[in-house]
Amino acid sequence: MRYTRTAMTLHWLIALMLFGMFGFGLYMVELPLSPQKLKFYSYHKWAGVTVFLLVLARLAWRITHRPPALPADMPGWQVTAAKAGHHLLYLLMVIVPLSGWLMSSAKGFQTVWFGVLPLPDLLAKDEALGEALLLTHRLLNWFFMLVVAGHVVAALKHHFIDRDGLLSRMLPGR
């Protein structure tokens, strides 16, 4: 059994955006303060809000459409690890953008989605809290990158070593 086309589309779109945001985020934080850097931060926030909305759609889809069962011969510890890993990915896909939104609010920089739709600040301006949330956002992103790397390695292991068809269930066009 395979994932639905909607689940696959959301999975790969979110994955592509996350990889782009990880790289872009690492690049932009190293830039000196300039109008270009501020523009990049706006783009990063627009993408973050977009990913957040796509993740909410993915969660709604997942709740209403059961994923295919894992292979019956998969060891119990791998089943547990797979389920825990997926729950952790979903949790991080929700709390990482929220931490960025909270940080922007505390630092006094409103998020305006695509420069058109102002989103409400979630916190009052508080520079000390903003700095703590900046550290939180960065640490969560590093952890998120590790969890994503683990997910990719596990998928590749199942595809190339175990050859159990697990990855094929999420690949379009097969």
Domain count, the chain: 1
Segments forming the whole domain that contains residue 89: 5-170
What single-letter amino acid sits at 145?
M
Q: What is the pLDDT of residues 77-136, one digit of tens each?
A: 999 999 999 999 999 999 999 999 999 999 999 999 999 999 999 999 999 999 999 999
Q: Is the pLDDT of residue 174 over 80?
A: no
Which domain CATH number covers 161? Answer: 1.20.950.20
Q: Of the candidates 133, 156, 144, which has an alpha carbon nearest to the alpha carbon of residue 22?
A: 144
Cα–Cα nearest to 4, from 57, 52, 44: 57
